[in-house]
Amino acid sequence: MSTRKWSRSAPVDGFRLAFERFGTTGAPAVVMLHGWPGNRHDYRHVVPLVSDAADVVVPDLRGFGGSDKHAVAVRHFYSATAQAASIIGLIKELELTNVVLVGYDVGSRVAQSVARMAPDLVSALVLSPPLPGAGDRVLSPQTQGEFWYQAFHQLPLAAQLIDGNPDAVREYLRHFWVHWSGPNFTLAEEDLDRLVGDYALPGAFTASIAWYRAGAGMIAQSLSELPPERAVKITVPTDVLWPQRDPLFPREWSDRLEYYFSDVQLYFAFDSGHFTPLECPEQLAELILIRARPSDA
C-alpha cells in the first residue's frame, strides 16, 4: 500500500478540508466519510483492505479533525448540503470520477446529499445508518432515550460544560464509544487519546456539534423527511450495511429503503454496533471492493 502525506483542500465556503490519500492514482476512486464523535481515522482498518485496488481519499469533514472550524451561521455552513459542497469540491479538485462514496453516521447523511446534488460524480454508495425511512418512529420513548444528546447539543450549556476541557471531552466521548459499540469491540485507550487530542482543542467540540445545531441530526431529519409515497429517490446504486447491535438504529428501520433509493441492496453486520468501519472492516471493505471493481462481483 502506497500513501501520500496528508493534505488540505482548496477552500469551499472558506473551509479547507484535511485529507489523506492512499493507494494508486488512476485506480477506481473511493472516498470515505466519518462520523461523530470520530474523524478520518475511523477508517484506519478499512483503508489497508482496499487501497491495493483503489485510489482512497479520507477527509475530515468541516469542523472535525484537521479541517477548518469557523464560528459562522451553522445552518448555512455545517448542514448536510454544506458539508456535501466541500466533498464535491474535493472530488472535483482531485479530478476523481465514478467515485464509490462510503459513509456512516454523519458521513452517511453527507454522502446521501452528495448523491442528490452531484449524482454524475458518484458511481455507488456504501452506507451504514442513518438512512431515511425511520419517520415518526424516532419519537418512541425508547428512541428518545437514545437520542437525548441531539437536544443537549442544541443548548449553549453543552459547549460551556465540555468545550476545551480535556477531562470532560474524554468522558463524554468515552460514553458514546462504549454505549454505541457492539459487545466485541473496545476502543483502545491510545485511540481515545487521539480523539481527545482533536476534540479537546478550544472550539473543536463546539465545531463538531455544529452538525446537530444545523438541524442535520437524526431526529430533525426523520421528522422532516417526505413520507415514503412522496419520496424523491436517490438514483445512485446503493449498498447498505446495517449493524445489528447498534442501539440507535434498530433493524426494523431498514424496512422502507426501497422508497428512498431506486437501486438498493441491504446487508446486515450481525455482531457490529454503530461503528461499522472499526467493528466490521472486512465486511465493509468487501462491499466497497465489489463496487470499485464491478467486473469482479
Question: What is the rounded distance in angstroms from the CA atom of residue 42 to the CA atom of residue 81?
Answer: 22
- Half-sphere exposure at residue 127, Cβ-oriented, CA atoms within 13 angstroms: 29
The one-letter amino acid code at 160 reads: Q
For 82-105, the DSSP string reads HHHHHHHHHHHHTT--SEEEEE-T
Domains of the chain in sequence order: 3-296 (3.40.50.1820)
| pLDDT of amino acid 1 | 43
Specify the pLDDT at position 2. Answer: 52
Matching residue, cell 431529519: 221
pLDDT at 294: 61
Q: What is the mean pLDDT of each run of 10 residues along the chain (297 residues)?
A: 74 97 92 98 97 96 96 90 98 97 98 98 98 93 93 96 98 98 96 97 97 90 87 96 97 96 97 97 98 68
Enclosing H/E stretch for 148: helix 148-152
Cα-based torsion angle of the residue sequence 92, 94, 98, 104 in order, rounded to the nearest 10 degrees: -90
At 297 the pLDDT is 43
The span from the CA of 96 to the CA of 104, in Å, is 21
- What local confidence, expressed as pLDDT, does residue 25 receive? 83
